[in-house]
Structure 1
Amino acid sequence: MTTLQTPRRRDAVKTRRMLLDAAVHRFTQHGYAATTVRDIADDAGVNVALISRYFRSKEGLFEACLSHSVEELERTAADVPPDRTAEEIARQMAGPCARGVPHNLVLLLRKSGDEAADRIRLDLLRSYSERLAAATGHQELLRAQVMIAAAAGIALLHAKTDMTPLATATETDLFGPLCDMIESLLIKTD
């Protein structure tokens, strides 16, 4: 007697999320050029063909990772009154990244080695800085970009070096100095 096996149903949302998580981790740790789609699929525990199905290509997956990182950063300052913007941004910068992956700013900062991927990364950073300047109640783009550059440097040194005390600083340790920096750069005092 043969039993028919019911085909396993694929959970597209879960598979897409697993691929995105694996890709963010790989791209942040190893860079765009050194990461293969096979590495990502293996880390996610899925067939490599699913990357093409859900993201079109490695470049499409990289773009999705960058967009996701910007969305997480923007979610921090969304619907926050201007007088609490610095606090919310500092909390995002100081806190651990969602799902245990490295800080979003590290991914946005890291050059990919691919011209098209770097153009996507820079466009997203530019767009984020414009929205950040608007969220603080004024349009000083230079100040927003300086804040992003400082935050990216802090995130990079915190995540990628053993420069103490920064590398071992906790969320609580970082929160105060980050608030001070963000307030001085983004919050106008007239």
Structure 2
Amino acid sequence: MMHAPPHAVDADATTGKSRDAANTRRLLLSSARRRFAQDGYSATRVRDIAADAGVNVALINRYFSSKEGLFEACLAHARDELGRSDGSSATLDDLVEALTRQVAGPANGDRSLQLLLLLRSSGDETADAIRLNTLRYFADQMAVAAGRSVEDVSSDDLRLRAQIALSTMLGIALLRASSTGLEPLASTGVDGLEGPLRDVITALLAPRL
């Protein structure tokens, strides 16, 4: 009978562990995003996050160090998802398309929950600082993606305009996720939202000729 070389067995085992670790992190992040967005930071218990993910609560400390570390990872994921508009979106149209996809998703979908996560005040000073830094970062990146230079973004006027544009997007997500049933906003899809969002972002952020 032929036996696999020891190194091959070790490699397979390592690969399997890596896959398990990556899957566990993914499950915890998904569960945490939903809990933090719906219940807020302070009311969310790590045991509930772990139970939702179907894993041992000790794994939160193993992969994220703490509840605060998990919250920061959730915000980083939201920033990265929204950050399709930082350098990868080469034109204003790319920016509008990326933002419209974010706000037009199902109210309880991951994209909508990520946006709501950015709106929830946590009551925790460190967690709120992380959240605010994420909002500032993304607003600045929106301005750059819209064609403004990094030097332009340092001005208070453009920062204000970028933050108003970001507030518009977050407000759409909040109203669509609420039970207000505000129509036609609540049921309008990507095609219907893209034009108005383009008008808002162009008016606020497009370079003036």
Is residue 2:75 matched to residue 1:56? no
1:4 paired residue number: none
Is residue 2:178 matched to residue 1:150? no
1:120 paired residue number: 130
- RMSD of aligned residue pairs (Cα, Å): 2.1
Contact 1:59 1:117 in 2 (8 A): yes
Structure 2 Cα separation of the partners of residues 187 and 117 of structure 1: 32
1:106 paired residue number: 116
1:42 paired residue number: 51
Structure 2 Cα separation of the partners of residues 26 and 101 of structure 1: 12
Q: Structure 1 residue 132: deviation in Å?
A: 1.9
Contact 2:86 2:144 in 1 (8 A): no
Q: Secondary structure at the match of 1:167?
A: helix
Residues 175, 161 of structure 1: alpha-carbon distance in 2 compared, 3 angstrom cutoff: farther
> Which structure 1 residue ranges, 4+ long, deviate > 4 Å from structure 2?
none
| Residues 68-123 of structure 1: per-residue CA shift (max 9 Å, x gap) | 001000124532223424422433333327x9325122111111121110011001
- Residue correspondences, number: 182
2:8 paired residue number: none
Structure 2 Cα separation of the partners of residues 67 and 179 of structure 1: 26
Q: Structure 1 residue 170: deviation in Å?
A: 2.3
Residues 187, 86 of structure 1: alpha-carbon distance in 2 compared, 3 angstrom cutoff: farther
Contact 1:33 1:112 in 2 (8 A): yes
Q: Structure 1 residue 25: deviation in Å?
A: 0.7
1:162 paired residue number: 180
1:137 paired residue number: 147
Structure 2 Cα separation of the partners of residues 76 and 135 of structure 1: 6
TM-score by length of structure 2 reads 0.79
2:93 paired residue number: 84
Contact 2:85 2:142 in 1 (8 A): no
Structure 2 Cα separation of the partners of residues 23 and 92 of structure 1: 22
| 1:176 aligns with one of 192, 195, 206 | 195
| Residues 141-178 of structure 1: per-residue CA shift (max 9 Å, x gap) | 22111101111111111112323212233233322222
Contact 2:139 2:163 in 1 (8 A): yes
